[in-house]
Amino acid sequence: MIKRILFFAFLISITTIAVAQNNMDSTGVALQFIAKGITEDSTVQKRHYADSLFTRTLVQTLKNPFSFNYTFDSLVSVKIITAPDKSFKFFSWQLDNEDGTFSQKGAMQMNAPDGQLKLLPFFDDSEYFENPNNEISNRKHWHGAIYYDIVQNQFNNKTYYTLLGYDENNADISHKIIEVIHFENNEPVLGGDFFIYPEDESFPKQPIKRFILSYKKGSNAYIRTDNNNAQLVLSELSSIENNLKLKNTLVPNGDDLYFEWTNGKWVMRRY
The domain limits of the chain are 1-64, 80-270
**pLDDT (0 to 100) of residue 12:** 47
% the chain with pLDDT above 90 = 76
Beta-carbon contacts of residue 257 (< 8 Å; ≥ 6 apart): 233, 234, 235, 236, 268, 269, 270, 271
What is the model's pTM? 0.89
Q: What are the phi and psi torsion angles at 108 (to 5°)? A: -110, 120
Q: What is the tens place of the pLDDT at every residue in 197-217?
A: 998 888 888 999 999 999 999
Count of beta carbons in the 10 Å neighbourhood of residue 270: 9
Measured between alpha carbons, how far is 124 from 132 in angstroms, rounded to an integer? 12
DSSP letter (8 states) at residue 117: -
Q: What is the arithmetic mean of pLDDT over 64-72?
A: 94
Q: How far is CA 97 from CA 33, 47, 53, 141, 148, in A?
A: 20, 9, 17, 19, 22
Residue 198 and residue 268 in contact, taking contact as beta carbons nearer than 8 Å: yes
pLDDT at 122 over 70: yes
Report whether pLDDT(80) > 50.
Answer: yes
CB burial readout 36-61, b (16+ within 10 A) else e: bbbeebeeeebbbbbbebbbebbebb
**pLDDT-derived band of residue 18, with 50, 70 and 90 as boundaries?**
very low
pLDDT 10s digits, 220-268? 999 999 999 999 999 999 999 999 999 999 999 999 999 999 999 999 9
